[in-house]
Amino acid sequence: MRDLVAGTAMVAGASLAVVAAVGVLRFGGFFARLHAATKPATLGLVLVAAGAALVLRDLSDTARLALVVGFQFLTVPVGTHLVARAAYHASAVDAEALAVDELGDVEGSGERRPPSGGD
């Protein structure tokens, strides 16, 4: 029974990776592809890690899997945000296709310019 649940969770997580890869290949536009690519990094990892934890049945293994999951939950949104922001500033996205352009509103004038100075 436990193996059944573990196997189902792992196959579900791997299937999510396939869906994301197909999305990254087929979607048009950078933000659509970015959106598709980040799904398995959280939900897929939770499913696969839960499956692995059920199979391994060891406290230290479960702790390490939980560490990876917690780390991914913290870093994936940050990394995705940075890539999206960088692509926007580098004009890798079609600004005309955006329904809402809050970054452009904040930075004013809508013109594309690299961020000035600092870091």
Kindly list the residues in this chain that would bind other proteins in the complex (CB under 8 A): 3, 6-8, 10-11, 13-15, 17-18, 20-22, 24-25, 30, 33-34, 37, 40-41, 44-45, 48-49, 51-52, 55-56, 58, 60-61, 64-65, 67-68, 71-72, 75-76, 78-79, 82-83, 85-87, 89-92, 114-115, 119
Nearer to other proteins, 90 or 95 (CB): 90
**Taking Cα atoms as reference points, which of 49, 50, 10, 19 lies closest to residue 37?**
19
Calculate ∠ Cα 31-34-37, nearest 5°.
Answer: 155
Nearer to other proteins, 67 or 97 (CB): 67
User: For tokens 């005309």, what's the residue?
Assistant: 96
Q: How far is the CB of 53 from other proteins (least distance, A)?
A: 9
**CA 16/CA 36 separation, integer angstroms:** 10
**CA 65/CA 114 separation, integer angstroms:** 39
DSSP state of 38: T
Q: How far is the CB of 87 from other proteins (least distance, A)?
A: 4
